Chain A
């Protein structure tokens, strides 16, 4: 291929890639229309400079006064909130890994179905983005899941009878498998893999290899036996460790990193959580960190980092050493009170953290995608009046997330690590 051909091919690729991103037609008119009033205004006459300086200084002074007033109000509001809303910090819905550490095991709300009616048109290889399509549920029609590859292309659908759907579906991080009703394990191609349900394994979480599940065994009389198990996709149960009767919850389970992170909520106060890091293969306790105050926490998929929601901010901890790597503070609001932002989910590479700063009745519902290492907002998303959080799931590589809107028209997006959103077809 000649240089010219090669250049022309590149030109075509640039046009294909960038033309769809151009602003809507009429951009020239819009720019010039908005520009004109600013042109003359922005031409300071020589004798107007002092006036401009005086205005600037006056503005700065006014801003200072406003900051002081707001700061004072904030302090008062915080003090009020600490008395009137001590336990109302909302925890956003968990993504693929549980967001709240002190998970209280409980029996499933109903008897899971013994079998599920599934069908699949998917043949593409994983990883896949699998999203539920709520519009499919018309009458008794089966629930439909749409599978896309990581480029956003639809590659097929997975359907499931509504009874099984109602029992709850948990999708493996790479979209390869579904756990239905806490019991039935299917692959995305429609094959039944195992029936893993046991009365004594409530709320297992997917391991980051998408081939195992981890959880704590419970008995009918005791939900805190402290027996940590790993379940394979074929239904084989392996005991990882016996940690004793405490209020255990599992935060991360990573066969690849040979690590599990669990929480123990039986500290001296409600908010003091003990954290334990284990070697998943042997059950050996690698580290124990007692008493980090937390109202919630999320881990990276491999349990390497933990974002702990503390009273005044989020601390990012290295779980190998317990060292605090960063301190991230974002303020949202709840019913007019300032509300400290809570960690929702890490990106797969651990470099981005999604933070939610809104609560029930909040006038605004801000969310931030934060590069926590530099404490910078990659994206800020403020909604008015919304209290629902989109489902946000990290892709199993890099800093990208799959974002789903919870209300009609149920759109899904790819949120890139630099804050760019792509609407999926």
Chain B
């Protein structure tokens, strides 16, 4: 039997990649739901949120060596999701729709859409960072240290930002034209 020197190494590399991918996936799995909620809050679209989380997962995998050993995955991954949402919001092609998919992609308004619609509209008008901290605080119930990690600032700055963003949101809810 002739051994083929290179092939054995390749098989080992693939197995190693598979193991690492397994490990990564196991670690990531419990965070995907939270990531989807964050992305939905940021993008206000189910389809875009799913896309954003998909890309964020891949980005996290590619950047996994940048993560400080022993540091928690959660805030690091949520920060990647938030960045992905920001980039998607800035893309002029973010809303590519096909008519056949409209039903699946549109938000069906409840019978009384008033408060929900108002809030979504108000959120849409807020700057990226303000929307991010509000979604983390009020939709995902995150503590300030996580908000600080995800938004890349100190805990005190995160508190101040949440306060300012809340005031701005309340103003936007009271007067929908004010922030236009």
Contact = CB atoms under 8 A, between A and B. Distances in A.
Interface in A364-397: 376-384, 386
A338 interface: no
Interface in B94-109: 94-100, 102-109
A14 B49 CA distance: 16
Contacts of B57: 31-32, 35
A138 interface: no
A50 B108 CA distance: 49
B107 A21 contact: yes
A228 B77 CA distance: 64
Given A14-B138, A379-B95, A424-B109, A21 B46 contact: yes
A45 interface: yes
Interface string B86-123: 00000011111111101111111111111111111101
A31 B53 contact: yes
A148 to B, nearest CB: 10
Interface residues of A, number: 53
Nearest to A30: B50
A101 B47 CA distance: 39
Nearest to B56: A31
Interface stretch (A5-13, A67-75, A119-127, A211-219): A5-13
Contact of B17 (A10, A40, A381, A419): A40
B106 A423 contact: yes
Contacts of B37: 18, 22
A153 B112 CA distance: 7
Nearest to B10: A45
A323 interface: no
Contact of B109 (A28, A39, A152): A152
B166 interface: yes
Contact of A24 (B46, B53, B61, B114): B46
B46 to A, nearest CB: 4
Contacts of A21: 40, 44-46, 49, 107, 120
B132 interface: no
Given A40-B21, A383-B100, A423-B107, A151 B139 contact: no
B44 A16 contact: no
A345 B158 CA distance: 43
Contacts of A27: 32-33, 36, 50, 53
Contact of A17 (B61, B99, B119): B119
Contacts of A84: none
Interface in B1-24: 13-14, 17-18, 21, 24
Nearest to B96: A380
A28 B33 contact: yes
A15 interface: yes
B21 A36 contact: yes
Interface residues on B, range: 35 or more
B50 A17 contact: no
A398 interface: yes
Contacts of B54: 31, 34-35
A23 B123 CA distance: 19
A222 to B, nearest CB: 44
B115 to A, nearest CB: 6
B109 A422 contact: yes
A418 B124 contact: yes
A87 interface: no
A14, A34, A381 — most chain B CB neighbours (10 Å): A14
Interface string A157-177: 000000000000000000000
A212 B143 CA distance: 57
A420 interface: yes
B99 to A, nearest CB: 4
A28 B40 contact: no
B68 interface: no
Contact of B45 (A10, A151, A420): A420
Interface string B32-70: 110011001100111101100110011001100000000
Interface in B120-155: 120-121, 123-124, 134-135, 138-139, 141
Across the A-B interface, give the 6 residue pairs with the lowest CB-CB distance, nearest first.
A419-B95, A376-B92, A17-B116, A17-B119, A383-B99, A23-B46
Interface of B: 13-14, 17-18, 21, 24-25, 28-29, 32-33, 36-37, 40-41, 44-47, 49-50, 53-54, 57-58, 61-62, 92-100, 102-121, 123-124, 134-135, 138-139, 141, 166, 180
Interface of A: 7, 10-11, 13-18, 20-24, 27-28, 30-32, 34-36, 38-40, 42-43, 45, 151-153, 376-384, 386, 398, 411, 413, 416, 418-425
Given A18-B119, A382-B99, 20 more contacts: A14-B138, A21-B44, A27-B36, A30-B50, A32-B25, A32-B57, A35-B61, A39-B17, A39-B21, A152-B109, A376-B92, A379-B95, A379-B96, A381-B98, A418-B95, A418-B124, A421-B105, A422-B109, A423-B106, A425-B110
12 contacts: A17-B118, A20-B110, A20-B116, A21-B49, A22-B36, A34-B54, A35-B54, A42-B62, A416-B124, A420-B107, A422-B113, A423-B109
